[in-house]
Amino acid sequence: MPELEFQNNRLMKVTLKQIAKQAGVDVSTVSRALTGGYGVHKATRDKVLGVAKTLNYYPNRIARGLVTGRSHTIGLLISDIRNPFFAEVARGAEDAAYNASFDMVLCNSDLESVKQMRYIRSLIEKNVDGILMNSVAGLDQQEQIELAEHGVPIVLLNRPMAPHPFSTVSADNYRGGFLAGQYLVDLGHRTIAHLTGPRTHGNLTERCKGFLAALESSRKKVTPIVIHGDHTQKGGHEMTKKLLVQRPEVTAIFAANDAVAFGVVRAILEAGLSIPDNISLVGFDNVELSGLIHPPLTTVNQPKYEMGRAAVEILLAQSNSPNGHPPEQRVFGVNLVERQSCRAL
C-alpha cells in the first residue's frame, strides 16, 4: 500500500505528473490513457491505469469540464422536498442520472420566483449539463428569453404543455381530476368540495377543470365547491377548517394532492368527525404514505418515479444533440386507486 501524503491535515491530490513519473511515460500519454484517447498502446494504457489505481488517483472533473464543456452534472429544482411526491420524482431522476454517470444537485425554490431564478443562474454558472424544474413558479417572458439564450437544456417537470421553448413531462392532470369527480358522483355525493392551490398553478388548474367537468356531465344535480389556498399539508388543514364552518353540508372532498389530503384528515379529526363516515376524501399523487394512514387514502395515481426518469432521459438527449433537440412533451396516464377513505351514500 502506498503511503499517502498529507499537508496541513489535508490529503494531497495525486497529479498526472506523479503518475507519469512512476509509469515512466510523459504527461500527455497519461492524459490520453486515462481518458481513452487515441495513440496509446494497450500495455502502456494498462500500466498507467494500474499506477493511477495504486496511487488512489481521482480525476478532477471540474478541470476536465473546462476542456470538454461538460460537467456531467444535472440540476433539479423543486418547490419543497418535504412533499413526498417530489421525493419520489427526485428518486426516479437521480437513478436515471446515476445510471448515465451524472451527478445531481438538488435545490428548493419554495415556489418563489426570485429564489428560483437565483438557483437557476447559480446552476448555469456551475456549468451544469441541464436543469430539471419540477412544479416551478411561473417563468415570465423575459426569464424564458434569458434561459433560452444560455443554451442550457431545460425540462419542466409536472407542468402542462404551454407556448414556451422547453420540454415538459407531466401526468394527465385533467383526466385525473375527472376520475376523482366522477368517482365521488357515482358514490352518490351531491355537495363536493375541491381544495386546491393558486388559481394560476398549471397542473392543479387542469385537475380542477377535470373535476368540474365530471360534475357538470352528471345527470344528477351536483354542487361543486372550490377553495384555493396553499397546496401543502398546512394549506389543506386551513382550507378544511374554513370549509367545515362555511359549508357544513359537504359530504366529500377532492384534495388537489396527497399533501393537502393529509391536512384534510387532521382538520376533520380535530372537528370530531370521521372519514369516511362523515366525509369521503380523495387525494391525488398516490405517494407511499397515502396507503399507510388511517383510513388508507383513495387517490389518483401518477407514475412519479417514471416521470422523473423520463425527464432525465429527455434532458440528456437534448444535451447530447450537437444540432439541437426539438422540445418534447411527454404525458403519462393516471388511474384511480380505491382504498377506504370514501363511502357510498
What does the pLDDT look like over 47-64, one tens digit per residue?
888 888 887 776 655 555
Q: Where exactly does CATH 3.40.50.2300 map onto the chain?
A: 71-171+305-333, 173-302
Of 41-45, 161-165, 226-230, give the lowest mean pLDDT range.
Answer: 161-165
pLDDT of residue 120: 87
Q: In percent, how much of the chain has pLDDT > 70?
A: 86
Closest CA to 135 of 94, 180, 96, 82: 82
Q: What is the average pLDDT across 301-318?
A: 93
Residue scoring higher pLDDT (249 or 324): 249
Q: What is the average pLDDT across 256-263?
A: 96
- The architecture of the domain spanning 173-302 is 3-Layer(aba) Sandwich (3.40)
Cα angle 118, 205, 231; round to 5 = 60
Closest CA to 122 of 134, 109, 110: 109
Model confidence at 259: pLDDT above 90: yes
Closest CA to 13 of 42, 71, 55: 55
pTM of the model: 0.79
pLDDT of residue 135: 55
Half-sphere exposure of 264 (CA within 13 A, CB side): 34
Mean pLDDT of the chain: 86
Q: What is the average pLDDT across 314-325?
A: 78
Q: Does domain 71-171+305-333 have CATH number 3.40.50.2300?
A: yes
Give kind and range of the element (H or E) at residue 226: strand 223-228
Report the alpha-carbon distance of residue 138 to residue 143 in Å, rounded: 9
Residue scoring higher pLDDT (69 or 122): 122
Q: What is the average pLDDT across 212-236?
A: 94
Q: What is the average pLDDT across 197-226?
A: 91
Q: What is the average pLDDT across 89-100?
A: 93
Question: Each residue of 126-172: pLDDT tens digit?
Answer: 888 889 987 555 666 777 777 777 778 889 887 766 656 788 999 99
Of 61-70, 87-96, 327-336, give the lowest mean pLDDT range.
Answer: 61-70
Beta carbons within 8 Å of 261's beta carbon, 6+ residues apart: 236, 255, 281, 282, 283, 284, 290, 297, 299
Helix 42-54 to helix 16-23 angle, to the nearest 10 degrees? Answer: 120
Report the alpha-carbon distance of residue 243 to residue 241 in Å, rounded: 5
Task: Write out the three cell numbers for 188.
Answer: 352518490
Whether cis (ω within 30° of 0) applies to the bond prior to 276 is yes
pLDDT of residue 22: 85
Q: Does domain 6-59 have CATH number 3.40.50.1860?
A: no
